[in-house]
Amino acid sequence: MVQPQLAGVKVVDLTSVVFGPYCTQILADLGAEVIKVESPGMGDAFRWSAQAAGTPGMAPGFMAVNRGKRSIALDLKSADDLAVMHQLLADADLFVVNVRGNALKRLGLDYASVQALNPRLIYVHCVGFGQDGPYADLQAYDDVIQAATGTATLLPRVDGDPRPRYLPSLIADKVAGLHATYGALAALYAREKTGVGQYVEVPMFEVFSSFMLLEHLGGQTFDPPVGPVGYARQVDPVRQPFPTSDGAISIVMYTYDAWDRVFAILDDPDFITAERFNEKGGRVRHQDELYRHIAELTPRFTTAELQRRCDAAQLPAQAVRDLSEVIDDPHLAATGFFTRRVHPSEGAYFEQAQPVRFSAGDSANDALMPPLLDQHGAEIRAELAKRR
């Protein structure tokens, strides 16, 4: 659904993979005009990240983060194509880029050069590491950021397997993309008041350190430390989905009285009445024992029966679904989260809705479909020629 909030905002998008494209897709969903600049031949590397349904270079991941954009292929080492890039930037509102700083300087697309061309431009630089630190010129991908932030040591804390492992998600890329979005929007708001553009740096290492250490800095929050790193509740090996007779279910006991309710619906209300659980702080101290006993009781029920009982008792609960089943979720169907669309070259595909909703302004499911490489190159060049 395209929203009207950023109608009239022009974005030049020189990004690839997920970090930058996730940001610019959100801007497109909010109504901005986004022109995706890609290298001739291969284009965005994420085009080739998995099997395409039709045209090579239209991988599902690329489809997921590139709707609402027009694509033009430019060889920025060519004087003629660099001149086209300068034309695009001359009246742009936002330039979102994830090329490393030294390469941008060589191309004359660093902030100082672009600011001279367009002083009102907001330049959003999606980088791996803050540009004033010793890692400034290093490459960064999701895996290395998960390693550098300690994220790869979280699963060992939970399951006891000492091997560092990545969380199986492009989580650092996506979190950094969201930060780039709010940075761009904040700078746009500031420009509305001041008329002045600015440089916005979004370093993935610092962004994801902030995101993960929010809870996991733990006892090191204080000087001297009062305990270990890690939020105990999140790295507790016992606090996991509970087995049922036909699957598994997540049940959350976050308040004191929730423990009474959960043992009541599990037909063992007397268990929680033991004195050790009713002393001050007793339910926290003995939390692992409580979880273990719940896991002994839940296999007596089907997942559906436990879901009904939890809902009736006002206990947060959801069945554990396989990843492949989420597309059929009835709530997501009712809210229109997935839309089946037909791409002119790739055929039918499912598009995920922009999840943030606005009460003001009409929206329509008329977003541009993910573009083929250079699909709009000729029309963009023609538009620029008319402005000369």
pLDDT digits (tens, 9 = 90+) for 315-360: 999 999 999 999 999 999 999 999 999 999 999 999 999 999 998 8
Question: Quick check: is 219 in a domain?
Answer: no
Q: Which domain holds residue 101?
A: 10-211+333-387
Across residues 194-204, what is the average pLDDT?
Answer: 97
Residue 387 — pLDDT band, cuts 50, 70, 90? Answer: confident
Of the residues 287, 319, 351, which one is the last residue of a structural domain?
Answer: 319
Number of folded domains that form the chain: 2
Spatial neighbors of 96 by CB under 8 A, at least 6 apart, are 11, 12, 13, 14, 15, 20, 23, 24, 27, 124, 126, 180, 184
Question: Quick check: is 381 in a domain?
Answer: yes
Q: Are residues 254 and 357 in the same domain?
A: no
Place of tokens 């660093």: 110
Instruction: Tell me the CATH number at 265.
Output: 3.30.1540
Whether residue 2 is predicted with pLDDT greater than 80 in this model: the reply is no
Across residues 272-296, what is the average pLDDT?
Answer: 95
Spatial neighbors of 378 by CB under 8 A, at least 6 apart, are none
Question: Quick check: is 156 in a domain?
Answer: yes
Q: Are residues 177 and 261 in the same domain?
A: no
Whether residue 364 is predicted with pLDDT greater than 70 in this model: the reply is no
Q: Are residues 298 and 339 in the same domain?
A: no
Q: What is the 3-state secondary structure (H, E, C) of the chain?
A: CECCCCCCCEEEEECCCCHHHHHHHHHHHCCCEEEEEECCCCCCHHHHCCCCCCCCCCCHHHHHCCCCEEEEECCCCCHHHHHHHHHHHHCCCEEEECCCHHHHHHHCCCHHHHHHHCCCCEEEEEECCCCCCCCCCCCCCHHHHHHHCCHHHHHHHHHCCCCCCCCCCCHHHHHHHHHHHHHHHHHHHHHHHHCCCCEEEEEHHHHHHHHHHHHHCHHHHCCCCCCCCCCCCCCCCCCCCEECCCCEEEECCCCHHHHHHHHHHCCCCCHHHCHHHHCCCHHHHCHHHHHHHHHHHHHHCCHHHHHHHHHHCCCCEEECCCHHHHHHCHHHHHCCCEEEEEECCCEEEEEECCCCCCCCCCCECCCCCCCCCCCCHHHHHHHHHHHC
Q: Are residues 22 and 160 in the same domain?
A: yes
Of the residues 319, 346, 378, which one is the last residue of a structural domain?
Answer: 319
Q: Are residues 309 and 361 in the same domain?
A: no
Across residues 170-192, what is the average pLDDT?
Answer: 98
Place of tokens 């989905």: 241
Question: Quick check: is 350 in a domain?
Answer: yes
- Predicted local distance difference test score (pLDDT) of residue 367: 86
Q: How far is CA 190 from CA 7, 10, 45, 178, 199, in A?
A: 17, 16, 33, 19, 12
Question: Quick check: is 342 in a domain?
Answer: yes
Question: Quick check: is 4 in a domain?
Answer: no
Q: Which of 42-46, 56-60, 258-262, 366-370 has the lowest mean pLDDT?
A: 366-370
Q: What is the pLDDT of residues 71-87, one digit of tens each?
A: 999 999 999 999 999 99
Residue 365 — pLDDT band, cuts 50, 70, 90? Answer: low
Across residues 378-386, what is the average pLDDT?
Answer: 96
Instruction: Tell me the CATH number at 358.
Output: 3.40.50.10540
Q: Provide the whole-model pTM.
A: 0.94
Report the largest interatomic distance among the alpha carbons of the chain, rounded to a whole angstrom.
82
- Predicted local distance difference test score (pLDDT) of residue 362: 64
- Predicted local distance difference test score (pLDDT) of residue 366: 78
Whether residue 236 is predicted with pLDDT greater than 80 in this model: the reply is yes
Whether residue 234 is predicted with pLDDT greater than 80 in this model: the reply is yes
Whether residue 209 is predicted with pLDDT greater than 70 in this model: the reply is yes
Residue 1 — pLDDT band, cuts 50, 70, 90? Answer: low
Q: Are residues 198 and 82 in the same domain?
A: yes
Across residues 129-138, what is the average pLDDT?
Answer: 95
What percentage of the chain has pLDDT greater than the value 70?
99
Q: Are residues 75 and 196 in the same domain?
A: yes
Q: Are residues 119 and 35 in the same domain?
A: yes
Question: Quick check: is 328 in a domain?
Answer: no
What percentage of the chain has pLDDT greater than the value 90?
95
Across residues 12-18, what is the average pLDDT?
Answer: 98
Of the residues 319, 352, 378, which one is the last residue of a structural domain?
Answer: 319
| CA quadruple 38, 42, 48, 49: dihedral sign | negative
Q: Are residues 204 and 256 in the same domain?
A: no
The average confidence (pLDDT) of the chain is 96
Q: What is the pLDDT of residues 251-272, one digit of tens each?
A: 999 999 999 999 999 999 999 9
Q: What is the pLDDT of residues 85-107, one digit of tens each?
A: 999 999 999 999 999 888 999 99
Q: Are residues 302 and 337 in the same domain?
A: no
Q: Are residues 93 and 154 in the same domain?
A: yes
Question: Quick check: is 372 in a domain?
Answer: yes
Q: Are residues 274 and 381 in the same domain?
A: no
- Predicted local distance difference test score (pLDDT) of residue 265: 98
- Predicted local distance difference test score (pLDDT) of residue 360: 84
- Predicted local distance difference test score (pLDDT) of residue 363: 62
